[in-house]
Structure 1
């Protein structure tokens, strides 16, 4: 009886973050989602269209316990400072030249960053410090998420 209860509980916990600052990933219906959470429960999500169809695009969003934030092609409330030196902002879509260029900078940088400062409307809201192992095992794959342009 204990084994039967353990398996469903284990399956449910696979989607939750067990510890902060560790990149996780999951995939479903043509999308791969990468996520990292801080100790306060804020989560950065990077979603890559890996076969969901041309009508869908990649995205990056930041979620707090109270709200969800995402850039559009004309408004950029989210900015990320990577390793204290590069400032990047993921576009709303990657199907245009500037959006594709911005996505490239974002995806290449976030895939190897050891420190990710998140700014919302030019105010720092959190910092993620991913473990080296989770960068090598998970986050590096974000760099393969090519713009749809």
Structure 2
């Protein structure tokens, strides 16, 4: 728990100065962090657990006025058509597919409406979606566990979904 609190505190400090509508990314403690801010300084952060222990989950947060809201009450409307509610505990097949749907939508979005408790909080118009190319390939925890299991058994790992 102390590690998660330290990680979140570090991410909040790093989020203080974001350029509106421009994706930024960096890595910290086994997470690939993608963040983007709206013109009204609300910051959306998607954290892919790409190298940390598979005991940890992916994270999605929204910062509003120095307060951070977790994925629990967030939902998104992508390009006025697709409504997505995030799932980050991606250990089941269904949640895994839902995670890929969300990350692919973010990676291809021209407009992201962010809702908190069904109330529109902000709208983001990504100007550089190419920076999120790797986000749509962020493996679910199910995929990572299957890969680790294959490696432990000395078998070739074949992803259950095509990458890219």
TM-score in terms of structure 2 length: 0.72
The 5-angstrom pairing of residues 15-94 of structure 1 reads 17-72=17-72, 77-94=73-90
Rounded Cα–Cα distance in structure 1 between residues aligned with 2:95 and 2:70: 14
Deviation at 1:97? 2.8
Could you say which structure has the greater relative contact order, defined with CA pairs below 8 angstroms and 6 or more residues apart?
1
Alignment coverage as a number of residue pairs: 130
Confirm or deny that 1:111 pairs with 2:104: no
The SS at the match of 2:108 is coil
Distance in 2 of aligned mates of 1:35 and 1:50: 16
Gaps of 5+ in 2: 1-13, 143-164
- List gaps (5 residues or longer) in structure 1: 1-13
**Residues 17 and 37 in structure 1, CA contact (< 8 A), matched pair in contact too:** no
Query: What is the TM-score with the length of structure 1 in the denominator?
Result: 0.79
2:135 counterpart residue number: 142
Equivalent-residue separation in structure 2 for 1:15 and 1:126 (angstroms)? 17
How far apart in 1 are the matches of 2:35 and 2:67?
16
Asked if 2 retains the 8 angstrom alpha-carbon contact of 1:57 and 1:94, the reply is yes
- CA distance in 2: counterparts of 1:90 and 1:120, whole angstroms: 12
Q: Assess, with a 3 A threshold, how the Cα gap between structure 1 residues 30 and 62 changes in structure 2: closer, same or farther.
A: same
- Alpha-carbon spacing, 1:15–1:60, altered in 2? closer, same or farther (3 Å): closer
Residues 100-120 of structure 1: CA deviation (Å, up to 9, x unaligned): 122111011111101000111
